[in-house]
Structure 1
Amino acid sequence: MDITFIDETSEVSQDKITEIDELLQFAADYLKIPEDTEMSVTFMDNKGIQVINRDYRGKDAPTDVISFALEEDGEGEVPIIFDEELVMPRNLGDIMISTERAAEQADEYGHSFDRELGFLAVHGFLHINGYDHMTAEEEKEMFGLQKEILDAYGLKR
């Protein structure tokens, strides 16, 4: 899977980006996502993610992770239909993670920053693959799968 990483904070080390890449590659294999799939991950601060949260979700507060699934039609959107002969890689969408909020939550929950950042990356990844937690049944399925992936990868609380 081809993942584009953007660090708007200029504070995320290349080692940390490599760790998240490896975790998301593992999650992609776990879900049997085709290798020619694309997505992006943007690391930002609370101020940056607050703007996204306000503009796209109507919530004027920082959050930990926001996902934009490209394969999901929004309300009032017309689906894009491509010529069947045109071969294009599948693009899942974009994940934005507040590293500032991740650090705050790691402290709140009493686990490492690495664990929290990995949790948020997998959480966003599941969202752009069609999982959600709007109902109790959806939450049970998504959070169960999230835990399975993180445990199988070895990133436990």
Structure 2
Amino acid sequence: MLVVAYDNRSDFEIADTILEEIEDAMARTLLDQEIEVECEVSFSFVSAAEITALNSEYRGKDSVTDVLSFPMHEDFILHREVIIKENPFLPLLLGDIVICIQQAETQAKEYGNTLTRELSYLSVHSVLHLLGYDHMANDEKSAMRRIEKEIMGDD
């Protein structure tokens, strides 16, 4: 159901158990959103310097961030039938996820989470972005947060 192409460009070694948890979180997201075709996600772990450069280039924000998502399809969730029909070859590429492992580790400590839990959450969050969800407006943010909590099993 899900193919993940990993690229670790950070100085951190990512344990296989963490990768398995990330993949499980992303697969749960696709199931929750009733995506029933095989999908592929490109997933990169990068340094603070690299994500700052990407954030500056693509979002005009010259600062470190935890994750960036680059969807392959605009509003996938709204147009899934057409997108799937027009892309008969599987797996269907959803897009790219770029995570700053240093920022994820900082946030995990800040929120009292494990690094694995933080990376899983960021993966869920990013897959939702790849599917067309956003959190710019308050109603969008509430809807996205509700879905994230449901997938992560948070109360």
TM-score range, shorter chain: 0.7 to 0.9
The 3 A distance-change label for structure 1 pair 86 and 120 is closer
1:65 paired to 2:64: no
Q: CA RMSD in A?
A: 2.2
Aligned to 2:110: 108
**Residue segments in structure 1 that go unaligned for 5+ positions in a row:** 74-81
Conservation of the 8 A alpha-carbon contact between 2:25 and 2:121: no
Identical-pair percentage: 35
Which aligned runs of 4 or more in structure 1 are off by greater than 6 angstroms?
none
Structure 1 length-normalised TM: 0.83
CA distance in 2, matches of 1:119, 1:22: 11
Deviation at 1:87, TM superposition (A): 2.5
Larger-Rg structure: 1
Q: Given the alignment, which residue of 28, 40, 45 partners 2:30?
A: 28
* Equivalent in the alignment of 1:78: none
Aligned residue identity for 1:33: I
Partner of 2:130: 128
**Superposed displacement of residue 13, structure 1:** 1.6
**Aligned partner of residue 42 in structure 2, secondary structure:** strand
1:5 and 2:6 matched: yes
Q: Aligned residue for 2:89?
A: 88
- Report the residue type matching 2:9 in the other structure: E
Deviation at 1:17, TM superposition (A): 1.1
Q: What amino acid is the match of 1:105?
A: Q
| Whole-Å separation in 1 of the counterparts to 2:87 and 2:140 | 34
Equivalent position of 2:50 in the other structure = 48
Count of matched residue positions in the alignment of Structure 1 and Structure 2: 145
